[in-house]
Amino acid sequence: MNDFFQTDIISIRDFNKEKLETVFSATDKIIQMNPNERRELARGKTLGYLFFEPSTRTRLSFQAAMASLGGTSLGIADASSSSTKKGESLADTVHIMSLYSDVLVLRHPLDGSSRFAAEISSKPLINGGSGTEEHPTQAIQDLFTIIREKKKIDGLKIGVAGDLKYGRTVYSLLYALSNYNVDVHLISPESLKIRSDSTYDIKKRLKYKESSSLEEHIDEFDVLYVTRIQKERFPDEEEYLKVKGSYTIGLDLVKKMKDDAIILHPLPRVDEISTDVDETKQAKYFKQAQYGKDTRAALLALILNENSF
Ligand code: NCD
């Protein structure tokens, strides 16, 4: 039996290197598989999605992944059109969805929401983004992209820039990277430094330095991971306005980067990366979004099939 069969995916902290690599090699297989064979992996199965926050890539890549495995998906993409609006609880919504589907994906503004929902759900539940806490499937796709593009993770120098305080993808990325031997530079304005309450685990296992200058080490990075300033999570607009537009990666900065460096971003971008960078060979964020579908398909196939494929 594979380790993921019928399991919840709540935190990337539950993944050791071996588990991460199981998903990466399943993804390699999914990519190579012929479509007819792939459509057997979730034939007759349903993915139920519950999204209480906006999403483009996460929800659509899960749906595209499920379709590529021969399954189907149904769900709530906008909570205001569901009975939540009438006052139905998250617990009841999850309960109902687990009656209608074989695997669930939840995105919710509260930290802890996925763990709570997984206890209610009779079917495996995947965290599609919980508050400022975690986004485990994004980290899987981020690491998979690094491996595909750089052929390794160990030994890389990785810059992580932007909103490190509220960006949940950053926490999942750092937890995942702590399984490897990497050199991390965290770059953010002072007020958006990584939260100390969430770094306890990371500090023990990951080498990292913090600074506020993007330019200082840009010529050394193998990977530059850029994030959006999470406007919606700021307690007040004034604070957001102080840091808005803090970093913009333009062609001038890309020219200073190593020739074979890669730029990643979980997307959506607002103004952190100018669109003319998209044409450079370092820009890999669209490729990363494409791998989001493949890695999620691998994860769904592992959760739904008892035997490895
Ligand atoms: C991220 C998220 O929702 O945390 N989006 C995504 O899933 N790719 C990043 C973000 O919103 O900035």
Residue nearest to atom 11 of ligand 1 (CA): 268
Q: How many domains does the chain have?
A: 2
- Mean per-residue pLDDT over the chain, rounded: 96
Q: Distance between CA atoms of 177 and 202, rounded to whole angstroms?
A: 9
Evaluate whether residue 68 is within a structural domain.
Answer: yes
User: How many angstroms is it from 86 CA to the middle of ligand 1?
Assistant: 27
Whose C-alpha lies nearest to ligand 1, atom 3? 129
Residue 138 CA to ligand 1 centre (angstroms): 8
Question: Is 162's C-beta closer than 6 angstroms to any atom of ligand 1?
Answer: no
pLDDT tens per residue across span 140-162: 999 999 999 999 999 999 999 99
Contact in structure between 6 and 130 (CB atoms under 8 Å): no
With a CB cutoff of 8 Å and minimum separation 6, the contacts of 174 are: 160, 184, 194, 199, 202, 206, 208
Same domain, 223 and 207: yes
pTM above 0.95, yes or no: yes
Q: What is the pLDDT of residues 249-290, one digit of tens each?
A: 999 999 999 999 999 999 999 999 999 999 999 999 999 999
**What average pLDDT score do residues 78-84 get?**
84
Range of the domain at 124: 12-133+291-304
Q: Is 57 in the pocket of ligand 1 (CB under 6 A)?
A: yes
Asked if 48 and 80 sit in the same domain, the reply is yes
Instruction: Indicate whether 23 and 101 sit together in one domain.
Output: yes
Please report the sign of the dihedral spanned by the C-alpha atoms of residue 220, residue 13, residue 273, residue 279: positive
In tens, the pLDDT along 28-69 reads 999 999 999 999 999 999 999 999 999 999 999 999 999 999
Cβ of 169 closer than 6 Å to ligand 1, yes or no, is yes
Q: Domain check: are 163 and 66 in the same one?
A: no
Same domain, 101 and 227: no
Q: What is the pLDDT of residue 33?
A: 97
Ligand 1 within 6 A of CB of 165:
no
The whole-number pLDDT of residue 280 equals 98
Q: What is the CATH number of the domain that holds 265?
A: 3.40.50.1370
State the pLDDT confidence band at 196, using cuts at 50, 70 and 90: confident
